[in-house]
């Protein structure tokens, strides 16, 4: 049973840290991250005329990574919530 605010905060922090680490081990995250690295390289290496195009694509790729991470965190949070309720013997 979680008994204090500090213990609760540590529990929530650890849930978030573990879920983030788990997502970052997925093939989906690795593929998105590789895409970001390629896009950043393209942005740095191309001429000024192409800067806007590459920056736009890089931002879209960055948003895709963030959206995927948020989606994963939502699903994981739901699972963790159910597990927590079971641990507290609410469910």
**pLDDT attached to residue 14:** 86
| HEC string for the chain | CCCCHHHHHHHHHHHHHHHHHHHCCCHHHHHHHHHHHHHHHHHHHCCHHHHHHHHHHHHHHHHHHHHHHHHHHHHHHHHHHHHHHHHCCCC
Task: Identify the pLDDT of residue 11.
Answer: 81
Taking the whole predicted model, whether its pTM rises above 0.75 is answered as no
- Confidence (pLDDT) at 21: 93
Q: Residue 77: its pLDDT value, please?
A: 87
Q: Taking 70 as the threshold, does the pLDDT of residue 2 lie above it?
A: no
**Is residue 1's pLDDT more than 80?**
no
24-53 pLDDT, tens digit per residue, is: 999 999 999 999 888 777 767 655 656 777
């Amino acid at each position: 049973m979680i008994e204090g605010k500090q213990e609760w905060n540590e529990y929530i922090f650890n849930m978030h840290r573990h879920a983030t680490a788990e997502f970052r081990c997925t093939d989906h995250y690795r593929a998105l991250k590789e895409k970001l690295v390629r896009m950043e390289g393209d942005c740095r290496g191309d001429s000024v005329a192409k800067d806007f195009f590459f920056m736009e694509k890089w931002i879209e790729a960055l948003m895709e990574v963030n959206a995927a991470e948020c989606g994963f965190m939502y699903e994981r949070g739901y699972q963790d919530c159910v597990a927590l309720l079971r641990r507290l013997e609410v469910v």
